[in-house]
Amino acid sequence: MFNKASSETKGINILKNEFLNKNTAFTLEEREKLGLTGLLPDAVNTIEQQCQRVLGHLSDKDNDLERYIYLTGLLDRNETLFYKVIMSDPARFIPILYDPTVGDACLKFDAIYRRPRGMYVSLRHQGKIEAVLRNWPHKDVRFICVSTGERILGLGDLGANGMGIPIGKLQLYTACAAIPPINLLPVLLDCGTNNKTLLQDPLYLGVRENRPQAPQMDAFVDEFVYAVQKVFPDCCIHFEDWKGLDAIKYLAKYRNKVCCYNDDIQGTASIVLSGLITALRIKKEKLKDQKILFLGAGSAGIGIANLLESAMKLEGLSEKEARERITLFDINGLIEVSRKDLTDSQKIYAKTLASSKDLVQVIKSIKPSVLIGVSTQGKAFTQDVVQTMSALNERPIIFALSNPTDKAECSAEDAYTWSQGKALYAAGVQFPTFNLNGKTFYPGQANNFYIFPAVSLAVFATKPKTIPDALFIRAAQATSDQISEEDSTKGRLFPLQSNILQTEITTAIQVAQLIFDQNLATVERPKDIKAWLEQMLYQPEYTSIQKMLS
């Protein structure tokens, strides 16, 4: 890993290296050989004892943002211990490292900043992005998660403060699917910001300019995408939290040219499809027979609609028939043919119906069986909305997917109360269990972390040149298939988070098999895909002294 003569593997420097540092877990022999004797307390701890100390520190913190900051500091000091802790209990730590806490972290990112993680590629680097990327010390980068910070969760344009998102997403690659962290690179494309508050903030860390016009932005993104191909030829680009139109445009531009995907579009669509598969299994119905209404017609809404259309066609519908079953409603009302403000991706779902800005009336008119919220309009699913859905359906499917929590279209408590317990409900954040009339309800969390780490693990293993939607449909089915009959009878729509690592590995095996079946892989197909993939998994265990000095 390092040359034995390097000062990086001697004395105090090894304690400052987050990849090699074991801190109190260095044995007495290692301390002698590495020049650490006297630099550490006398006791030698196991990594389990160190975890116990970390958990004690976390319990003393007052809130999850403080826990997030502490864990970030731990990662800066000792990467192995960080992943040992979070992989020991992903259900506990996902809400701290990612949604909803990461939203608070991004809002305060410039204030809580400690040390750099990942790369900041700014407009000032245009013309030399390839050279900038070569500054990254690890050469086998297999995934880049990249954001412009322009549409962070439901919080809007946070500019360079959005770097918390690529960092958090890639941590979930490892926590949920055991992808080695050394192969992951968070990137913030710093294109300035139109957020006046940030531009006036003396601590703001990004380019203090308004965002560029489309031609300059297109050239900037193009240079970045193709620089990645030269510097990291086996790398998959994960687009995350881009502005709606840009998200759709750039995915369409690059998806058939390079290995890439957009989690907000494809990952969100896949986990929604997975939840619908489970809900419809409970209802004993098929997807092709549903009428689906979206509140929200941005990149997430369009992405979900497109994937559901593809899934409906797999069940035998024509493209026209599938699109007829999908209706969109946005801030300006029903997506219908007379509107002049529609994008090309919205027009294909436009209905020949009278214009309306009344969601309840649209529900009464089209009679949907599924209502999906991706609007970032908190509490948009009012009591009238939920009760109307419940009057039309014995078991209405209601997904309130916007996040963070205050952006959810309705809470689990409201959905179950207003539907008198009839709703099959999921949200983008995890709501607590809810008791109504002596029955316990288990709201699902339709969060992409069930999908994108699993798909990425399959991609990591098979190295496909492109990533078609079929992989996300397979991931949705594989995730749903792992819900037991007992859990589905309780209304659970997604697997338990406590077993997320095994869930994702099982899904990844299915996705990898499809990659081989469709001749997308650039590696030889193994005889036993499961065993082959499992031997690649990251284990959060300390490096031996022999490897350090080899």
pLDDT at residue 265, rounded to an integer: 93
**Which of 22, 68, 83, 169 is flagged as catalytic?**
169
Please spell the DSSP secondary structure of 404-419, one letter per residue. Answer: SGGG-SS-HHHHHHHT
User: Is 266-449 a CATH 3.40.50.720 domain?
Assistant: yes
pLDDT at residue 385, rounded to an integer: 98
| 169 is annotated as an active-site residue | yes
pTM to 2 decimal places: 0.92
Angstrom CA distances, 412 to 379, 420, 489, stand at: 11, 12, 18
pLDDT at residue 6, rounded to an integer: 54
Please spell the DSSP secondary structure of 232-278, one letter per residue. Answer: -TTPEEEE-S--HHHHHHHHHHHTTTSSEEEIIIIIHHHHHHHHHHH
Assigned CATH topology for domain 7-94: Hemocyanin, N-terminal domain (1.20.1370)
**Cα–Cα distance, 178 to 453 (Å, whole number):** 9
Asked if 119 contacts 136 with a C-beta cutoff of 8 angstroms, the reply is: yes
Please state, as a whole number, how many other Cβ atoms lie within 10 Å of the Cβ of residue 394: 8
pLDDT at residue 550, rounded to an integer: 59
pLDDT at residue 153, rounded to an integer: 82
Q: For each successive 10 residues of the chain (550 residues), what is the average pLDDT? A: 52 93 95 95 97 97 96 96 96 89 93 94 97 97 97 90 96 97 98 96 96 96 98 97 92 97 95 97 96 95 95 96 97 96 95 96 97 95 98 98 90 97 93 92 92 98 96 97 88 90 97 97 97 97 75
| 527 is annotated as an active-site residue | no
Asked if 175 contacts 86 with a C-beta cutoff of 8 angstroms, the reply is: yes
**Cα–Cα distance, 499 to 483 (Å, whole number):** 11
The strand pair at 333-334 and 424-427 is best described as: unpaired
Q: Where are the domains of the chain?
A: 7-94, 266-449
**Which of 83, 98, 538, 542 is flagged as catalytic?**
98
User: HSE of 197 in the Cβ direction (CA atoms, 13 Å)?
Assistant: 7
